[in-house]
């Protein structure tokens, strides 16, 4: 089982995204089965394949589970000490931060977790951080997004490799390995791990999908629904990657003016040529321009993009839309101009603001 899992991990992550000999690899270690398996499997790859890595565990205590969370931190600390691995442990009150910023616990925890990895990468001089998302996490993510009404981008699921703001890389070597296989590996090798009892409840949406919806679908509709979700994610990812290549080329062909965006946040596109492109490229080019102007992807709704396309189709010069985050889109004589105002508004509905 160990060799099979190690081979899957090596196939999941491109060779150029692994650390080179002598580099540190930062590993997100919660103490749970998945992350503990990741630690030991990476250690095994390092030893058997003579990779020459330095392992450094990174544990963030979200302070949501009281004594149980403190015990997890002590477990990870002992694991690092006994195996002579580096370790960084921090704690952040996710509940307090969520209240402060008005965000959900899940969103806040995710934001703080990635910020933590960025800090550990800087402090250790590493360029790669590995986290333990596995295939069942992928299944739950795709199903969750499908239920919320996602598009092709969302159906692509969790990427195996992600570029971080620091320029480092986040890799997910377990992404093609099912949770059941991870537990078998842990049992066969008699590896201890911690159990997060909050995963057993129905408090969060992901828990309800994992513990309620998926068993229902597998038991009454399709026993292979998990594998079907994984195939959907893979095919969606292939399609999305191809569309993005076409989008970049179409964007360059349609761009009339794009000054230094840091000084003049404005983009001008050939609107008439845009309407001749396939609908999927129309929407993606508009998304690309909005993103270049600094609008977060999660703030760009499909309805916003459709309103921009409707603005072009009406072919009435002097019309303008106001979109989230202080973004304005104007149509004039065949040109579409997007610019950002000095003020910023929260995400909302686009509205027509004048001639």
Mapping DSSP onto H, E and C, the string for 290-301 reads HHHCCCCHHHCC
320-348 confidence digits (pLDDT tens): 888 877 889 999 999 999 988 755 443 33
DSSP label at residue 52: -
Q: What is the pLDDT of residue 239?
A: 95
Q: Summarize the confidence of residues 306-327 as an average pLDDT.
A: 89
The CA-CA-CA angle for residues 83, 87, 92, to 5°, reads 140
- Tokens linked to 86: 């580096």
Q: At 66, is the secondary structure helix, strand, or coil? A: coil
- What does each C-alpha distance from 320 to 50, 258, 290 come to in angstroms? 61, 19, 15
Residue 190 has pLDDT above 80, yes or no: yes
Q: What is the pLDDT of residue 261?
A: 60
Q: Summarize the confidence of residues 131-149 as an average pLDDT.
A: 94
State whether the Cα torsion 335-349-94-180 is positive or negative: negative
Q: Summarize the confidence of residues 125-130 as an average pLDDT.
A: 96
CB atoms within 10 A of CB 206: 15
Which CATH number does 2-232 carry?
A: 3.40.50.620
Q: Which of 82-96, 264-278, 286-300 has the lowest mean pLDDT?
A: 286-300
Q: State the average pLDDT for the chain.
A: 90
- Tokens linked to 5: 């899992």
198-237 confidence digits (pLDDT tens): 777 777 788 899 999 999 999 999 999 999 999 999 999 9
Torsion angle defined by CA atoms of residues 18, 226, 189 and 53, in that order, rounded to the nearest 10 degrees: 10
Please, are residues 250 and 277 in contact by the beta-carbon 8 Å criterion? yes
152-186 confidence digits (pLDDT tens): 889 999 999 999 988 899 999 999 999 999 999 99
63-81 confidence digits (pLDDT tens): 888 898 999 999 999 999 9
Write down the domain spans for the chain: 2-232, 258-354
Q: Quick one: residue 45, left, alpha or beta (phi over 0 = left, psi -120 to 50 = alpha)?
A: alpha
237-263 confidence digits (pLDDT tens): 999 999 999 999 999 999 987 666 666
> For residue 187, what pLDDT band results from cuts at 50, 70 and 90?
very high
Q: What is the pLDDT of residue 350?
A: 44
Q: What is the pLDDT of residue 264?
A: 67
- Tokens linked to 168: 């480092």
For residue 181, the number of C-alpha atoms closer than 13 Å in the C-beta half-sphere is 18
Question: Is domain 258-354 given the CATH code 3.30.465.60 in the classification?
Answer: yes
DSSP label at residue 299: G
Q: Summarize the confidence of residues 279-307 as an average pLDDT.
A: 88
Residue 318 has pLDDT above 80, yes or no: yes
- Length of the chain equals 355
pTM, entire model? 0.84
Longest Cα pair distance anywhere in the chain, in angstroms? 71
Q: Summarize the confidence of residues 27-41 as an average pLDDT.
A: 97
């Amino acid at each position: 089982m160990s060799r099979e899992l190690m081979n899957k991990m090596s196939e999941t992550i491109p060779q150029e995204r692994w650390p080179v000999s002598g580099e540190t690899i930062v590993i997100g270690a919660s103490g749970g089965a998945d992350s503990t398996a990741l630690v030991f499997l990476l250690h095994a790859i390092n030893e058997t394949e003579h990779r020459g890595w330095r392992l450094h565990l990174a544990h963030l205590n979200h302070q949501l589970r009281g004594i149980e969370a403190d015990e997890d931190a002590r477990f990870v600390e002992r694991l690092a000490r006994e195996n002579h691995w580096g370790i960084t442990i921090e704690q952040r009150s996710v509940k307090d931060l969520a209240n402060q910023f008005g965000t959900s616990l899940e969103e806040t925890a995710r934001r703080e977790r990635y910020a933590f990895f960025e800090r550990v990468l800087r402090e250790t001089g590493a360029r790669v951080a590995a986290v333990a998302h596995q295939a069942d996490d992928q299944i739950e993510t795709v199903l969750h997004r499908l239920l919320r009404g996602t598009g092709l981008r969302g159906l692509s699921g969790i990427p195996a490799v992600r570029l971080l703001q620091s320029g480092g890389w986040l890799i997910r070597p377990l992404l093609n390995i099912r949770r059941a296989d991870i537990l078998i590996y842990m049992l066969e090798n008699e590896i201890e791990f911690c159990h997060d009892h909050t995963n057993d409840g129905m408090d969060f949406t992901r828990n309800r999908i994992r513990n309620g919806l998926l068993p229902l679908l597998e038991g009454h509709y399709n026993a292979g629904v998990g594998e079907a979700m994984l195939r959907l994610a893979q095919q969606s990812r292939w399609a999305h990657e191809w569309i993005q290549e076409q989008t970049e080329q179409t964007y360059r062909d349609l761009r009339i003016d794009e000054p230094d965006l840091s000084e003049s946040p404005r983009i001008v596109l050939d609107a008439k040529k845009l309407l001749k492109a396939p609908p999927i490229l129309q929407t993606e080019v508009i998304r690309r321009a909005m993103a270049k102007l600094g609008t977060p992807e999660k703030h760009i709704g499909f309805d916003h993009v459709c309103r921009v396309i409707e603005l072009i189709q009406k072919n009435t010069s002097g019309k303008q839309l106001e979109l989230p985050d202080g973004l304005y889109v104007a149509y004039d004589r065949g040109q579409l101009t997007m610019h950002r105002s000095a003020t910023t508004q929260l995400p909302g509905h686009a509205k027509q603001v004048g001639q």
